[in-house]
Structure 1
Amino acid sequence: MEKSRQKYLFKWLRSQQKPIKKELNLNILLATLSSLILVAQTWLLASLLHALIIEHSARSALIPQFIGLFICFALRAGILYIREKIGFKCGQKLRNFIRRQILEKIHAVGPAVINGKSAGSWATLMLEQVENLHNFYARYLPQQMLSVIVPCVILIAVFPLNWAAGLIMLLTAPLVPVFMILVGIAAADKSQRNMDTLAKLSAQFLDRLRGLETLRLFDRTSEQTRHIEQATEDFRKTTMDVLKMAFLSSAVLEFFTSISIAVMAVYFGFSYLGQIEFGQLSAGMTLFVGFFCLILAPEFYQPLRDLGAYYHDRSAAIGAADAIVNFLDTETASQRRQNIQILYKSAVDISAENLVALSPQGKPLTQPLTFRIPAGSHTALVGQSGAGKTSLMNVLLGFLNYEGSLKINGVELSQADIAAWRRQIAWVGQNPLLLHGSILDNLLLGDIQATQAEIDAALQRANAKEFTDKLGLNSEIKDGGLGVSVGQAQRLAVARALLRKGSLLLLDEPTASLDAQSENQVLQALNAIDHAHTTLMITHRIEDLKHSDQILVMRQGQIVQQGRFEELSRQGYFAELLNRRNQDIQ
């Protein structure tokens, strides 16, 4: 990873700390207080040793110092406990904050971007990579400040007693962060590679798990097992590389810290032997001064050592932030809008002129499209797979940018309030989403406000009331729609679309995965929808096409025919599709 990219990611990580600014400041304040108590504790300890060894004072006379020493120990332990609690809360709060940003972005980009990655990759992004940010906020950021504050407090306490000891600390202190940075640069690359490998492993494992039945039928389980084993081995290697860097960092820091403390110990040893006489101030070279400086020496380097240990957390956070920031920086179709309000009556009028759907990367997905869907009309969209039907749907939903013109009730969609527009859309797809919860919860999904009478009427029109009366609206639906059949789930989706009371109804082959009986029930429900909605349906069923007010025929990203069924069925590409359909049925 380039240094400029690392700096940008580090700046982004720091910019996210606003929600926990108070907690971070409190953490630093408590740590500063702990360092002051540490100086007082060391002073008491050095005084006790000097009094017992040199002055041979009675132990009874030193009871206040002993009591003060234990109070200092207790206070520092209590402060450490509180700091750990605050650090955990900081990390937890930031993880939730960043996960909310990711979820909001997922909601904004829509299926066009989401389908570009496997579910395992999204799971890794939301869980593992966000989790790797915890210690950056819980430990590294507070320690970054403390690595300056605590040494300064100790230097202020040491210099008045022995300037040579203070000078040794001051000159050797930069060695720790210099080598810490050198090791940390390599650690960031290792952490990023580790995250990429984990995302790949997660994606492969989940995809293979979903397709396990197919793999068994085609006798490919052994081959896929080898692929997962190879991905697991790659992840093991990258993890070990990260651990190597972490241990190398700790070893380097411990080495230079030990050298620095040893230099100070040698200085005091030769001073007591009378070989060195510089550095002494008014206090002289007493046992108290030696003990005080030598006891504080490890504590002087400890914040720098902790920062070095947590520098690995910084590297891991930068590696994880790379994927998070790449996703959060993805431009969505709604970011260019001016939030102009569309005037909604009941059904909406849609007109397009030279409309070109664009991919998230800005590449054209269709040819220029020109069409009009009048208010209250039923329009069918026909074409083979890859013709551009889904891309057109995603443009209408506001999930893809476009070139040209697309007007809703005379307002350009690229300038409209996309959130208000989506509230006017009801959707029924091939595989309707039913979440874990009751039937009622799923009917009112999307903050739908409806009375009991409206719910009963929608279920009646969707041919769903018969089974909902048996099961009860409070009947639980489990993950994956378990608890109702596919046909029942589709009729619940139709009822939900009716309750939404939208101006535009989008149907994406809503009967594609149903048996004949369920298909007829769902179609009866859809035919019961009056012309208060403008309806656009992707379908290949001849009966649906016959009852449509107009048909848009797409081929290789362009609309090649428009009109009613009777006109189009006589010649052209639509007639070819009908002939193929009839041959397939026969």
Structure 2
Amino acid sequence: MDKARQKYLQKWLRNQQKPIRNLLNINILLACISSVILVIQTYLLATLLHEVIINNTPRTQLISYFIGLLFSFALRALILWLREKIGFKSGKKLRNIIRQKIFDKINQVGPATISNKPAGSWATLMLEQVENLHNFYARFIPQQALSAIVPIVILIAIFPLNWMAGLILLFTAPLVPIFMILVGFAAADSSQRNMDTLAKLSSQFLDRLRGLETLRLFDRTLEQTQHIEEKTEEFRETTMDVLKMAFLSSAVLEFFTSISIALMAVYFGFNYLGELNFGSYSTPVTLFVGFFCLILAPEFYQPLRDLGTYYHDRAAGIGAADTIVEFLEGDYLTTQSNFTQTIESESAVEIIVEDLIILSPQGEKLTRPLNFSLPAKSHTALVGQSGAGKTSIINVLLGFLPYQGKLTINGIELRCINLEQWRKCIAWVGQNPLLLQGTIKENLLLGNIGVDDTEIDQALQAAQAKEFTKKLGLNALIKEGGIGLSVGQAQRLAIARALLRKGQLLLLDEPTASLDAQSENQVLQVLSKLSSLQTTLMITHRIEDLKRCDNILVMQQGQIIQQGKFDELKDKGFFADLLAQRKQDIH
């Protein structure tokens, strides 16, 4: 990572702290108070030692000093506890804000963009990489301010007593931050490599886990196990590189700090031996002054040493921010707009497409100019080989892909419609229905949370799902991904959920692919009835589905090459070839 990129990421990270600025200021203020209490505490301790050792003062006369010392210890401990709580709260708040930004961006670009990367990459981005920002805000930012404030407070306390001790601290202090800066560049690169390796490992592992059954069928488990082992070893090496930088820098920081403290100890030692006679404003160097300066010397360097420790949190934060910023500021083309025109919730939907070219989020053309219409309350089928562009049409209707040309909904250009409101008008059923962990009823209510039990019962009846839901009960628990139900049962629940949504546009992607012949016919009858109430666009290859449609759109290589009814197309061109291939596959 070059220096310009690091500077930009640092600036971005600092700009994100605006929502927690008050918390950070409180944290810094408490630390400043703690540093003042530290000086008072050191004064009490040095005074006690001087009075007991030099003046032989009776201990009974020093009770107030003992009480003050204990009180200062307790107060500093309380402040430290408060600072830890505030730091955690600020880090937590910032993580939630950044995660929300990522969610908003994901919602904006849509599934067409998200599917370009493995699911594990997004999991790493949302979890590990955002988590790596926590210590940057909770520890590094406050510590950076303290590394300047606390030494100044200590110097103000020491210089009036002994200017030589103050100069020793003043001139040796820059050694620590200079070394931290030198180490920081290498640490940031190591953290970035570590994050990249973790993202690759997470995505590959999750993908292999999901396809475990397929790997077993094709006897490829050993090969993939070795591949994961290699990536795991690569991640171990990058992690050790990060730890190596951390331990090495900590050792060097401790070395410079120890040399500086030793230098001050030698100075006071020679002073007490009478070999040196400067630095004390022509007054004797008392035991109080020596103890006071030597006790504060380690505390003078402690904020800088802590900053050195937290400097790796900065490196980790910059490494994580690189991936986060790359996504958040990525130039993705979308259909999003600031227009607020809406579709009437009670009106039927008519869609007209003229010279429509669908684009990828990166601006590449996915189709040739398309021209077709979906009349209100019509049932249209979309057919074609894999990769013909069928899914692209679905995605552009959902507002997930940008486009050129004209696409109107009831006469209103899609770009000018409030997409959030438009998507509420759409019900969708795919080949692999998404069911979340929860009860059957909870999954059905995802379609429309405002429906009552009677409407749920009617939808289940219409989707031919009443038989098994009556046995299981609506409160039966199903696991993530529909585990606990057969594929056909899950599909019928998805269809029932779509019925409950009561949308004006119904999008179907092979809705009967997982059903037996009897259930398929029954569901198709339901879908045919729905077409009289709402506009339907269905992707399908089944002849039985196609016969029931009002219109068929035939796609090949990103263009619509045939349109018409089943009887008009069954013996013509590419559609006839598709039917012949379908019959051959069945037999």
The aligned residue for residue 113 of structure 2 is: 113
Spell out the pairing of 1:243-262 with structure 2 (5 A cutoff): 243-262=243-262
- Per-residue displacement from partner, 1:339-396 (whole Å, max 9, x unpaired)? 3334454221111122111112111111111111111111111110000111111111
RMSD: 1.8
Following superposition, the deviation at residue 70 of structure 1 comes to 1.3
CA distance in structure 1 between the aligned counterparts of 2:213 and 2:470, rounded to whole angstroms: 35
Note if contact 1:379-1:537 (Cα within 8 Å) is conserved in structure 2.
yes
The aligned residue for residue 544 of structure 1 is: 545
* Cα pair distance change 1:71/1:176, threshold 3 Å: same
* Cα pair distance change 1:101/1:412, threshold 3 Å: same
2:326 corresponds to 1:307: no
CA distance in structure 2 between the aligned counterparts of 1:340 and 1:278, rounded to whole angstroms: 82
Following superposition, the deviation at residue 469 of structure 1 comes to 2.6
* Cα pair distance change 1:176/1:447, threshold 3 Å: farther
CA distance in structure 2 between the aligned counterparts of 1:217 and 1:475, rounded to whole angstroms: 32
Spell out the pairing of 1:12-51 with structure 2 (5 A cutoff): 12-51=12-51
Following superposition, the deviation at residue 337 of structure 1 comes to 4.3
With normalisation by structure 1, the TM-score equals 0.96
CA distance in structure 1 between the aligned counterparts of 2:484 and 2:208, rounded to whole angstroms: 25
Note if contact 1:494-1:525 (Cα within 8 Å) is conserved in structure 2.
no
Note if contact 1:348-1:376 (Cα within 8 Å) is conserved in structure 2.
yes
Following superposition, the deviation at residue 215 of structure 1 comes to 2.3
The aligned residue for residue 415 of structure 1 is: 416
Following superposition, the deviation at residue 336 of structure 1 comes to 4.1
The aligned residue for residue 81 of structure 2 is: 81
Q: Which moved more, 1:61-70 or 1:273-282?
A: 273-282
Following superposition, the deviation at residue 278 of structure 1 comes to 2.9
Following superposition, the deviation at residue 21 of structure 1 comes to 2.8
Letter in 2 for 1:400: L
The aligned residue for residue 355 of structure 2 is: 354
Spell out the pairing of 1:422-501 with structure 2 (5 A cutoff): 422-445=423-446, 448-501=449-502
- Per-residue displacement from partner, 1:272-323 (whole Å, max 9, x unpaired)? 3333333223764222112111111110111011011000011011111211
Following superposition, the deviation at residue 467 of structure 1 comes to 2.6
- Per-residue displacement from partner, 1:405-451 (whole Å, max 9, x unpaired)? 21111111122211111111100110111111111111111553112
2:578 corresponds to 1:577: yes
The aligned residue for residue 263 of structure 1 is: 263
2:557 corresponds to 1:532: no
Question: Any stretches of 5+ residues in structure 2 without a counterpart?
Answer: none
Following superposition, the deviation at residue 28 of structure 1 comes to 1.5
Q: Which moved more, 1:341-350 or 1:566-575?
A: 341-350
CA distance in structure 1 between the aligned counterparts of 2:313 and 2:53, rounded to whole angstroms: 44
CA distance in structure 2 between the aligned counterparts of 1:22 and 1:114, rounded to whole angstroms: 36
CA distance in structure 2 between the aligned counterparts of 1:573 and 1:215, rounded to whole angstroms: 35
Note if contact 1:461-1:528 (Cα within 8 Å) is conserved in structure 2.
no
The aligned residue for residue 276 of structure 1 is: 276
Note if contact 1:108-1:332 (Cα within 8 Å) is conserved in structure 2.
no
Following superposition, the deviation at residue 582 of structure 1 comes to 2.1
Secondary structure at the aligned position of 2:50 is classed as helix
The aligned residue for residue 179 of structure 1 is: 179
CA distance in structure 1 between the aligned counterparts of 2:130 and 2:49, rounded to whole angstroms: 49
Note if contact 2:39-2:154 (Cα within 8 Å) is conserved in structure 1.
yes
Q: Which moved more, 1:234-243 or 1:56-65?
A: 56-65
Following superposition, the deviation at residue 17 of structure 1 comes to 2.4
Following superposition, the deviation at residue 74 of structure 1 comes to 1.4
Note if contact 1:346-1:533 (Cα within 8 Å) is conserved in structure 2.
no
CA distance in structure 2 between the aligned counterparts of 1:447 and 1:106, rounded to whole angstroms: 23
The aligned residue for residue 363 of structure 1 is: 364
The aligned residue for residue 198 of structure 1 is: 198
The aligned residue for residue 213 of structure 1 is: 213
Note if contact 2:335-2:403 (Cα within 8 Å) is conserved in structure 1.
no
* Cα pair distance change 1:555/1:276, threshold 3 Å: same
Secondary structure at the aligned position of 2:352 is classed as strand
Following superposition, the deviation at residue 559 of structure 1 comes to 0.9
Note if contact 2:440-2:474 (Cα within 8 Å) is conserved in structure 1.
yes
The aligned residue for residue 398 of structure 1 is: 399
The aligned residue for residue 341 of structure 2 is: 340
Following superposition, the deviation at residue 69 of structure 1 comes to 1.0
The aligned residue for residue 289 of structure 1 is: 289
Q: Which moved more, 1:431-440 or 1:380-389?
A: 431-440
What is the identity percentage for the equivalent residue pairs of Structure 1 and Structure 2? 72
Secondary structure at the aligned position of 1:380 is classed as strand
- Equivalent residues, number: 586
Secondary structure at the aligned position of 2:250 is classed as helix
Letter in 2 for 1:6: Q
* Cα pair distance change 1:447/1:291, threshold 3 Å: farther
- Per-residue displacement from partner, 1:196-216 (whole Å, max 9, x unpaired)? 111111122222222223323
The aligned residue for residue 235 of structure 2 is: 235
Secondary structure at the aligned position of 1:166 is classed as helix
CA distance in structure 1 between the aligned counterparts of 2:15 and 2:448, rounded to whole angstroms: 33
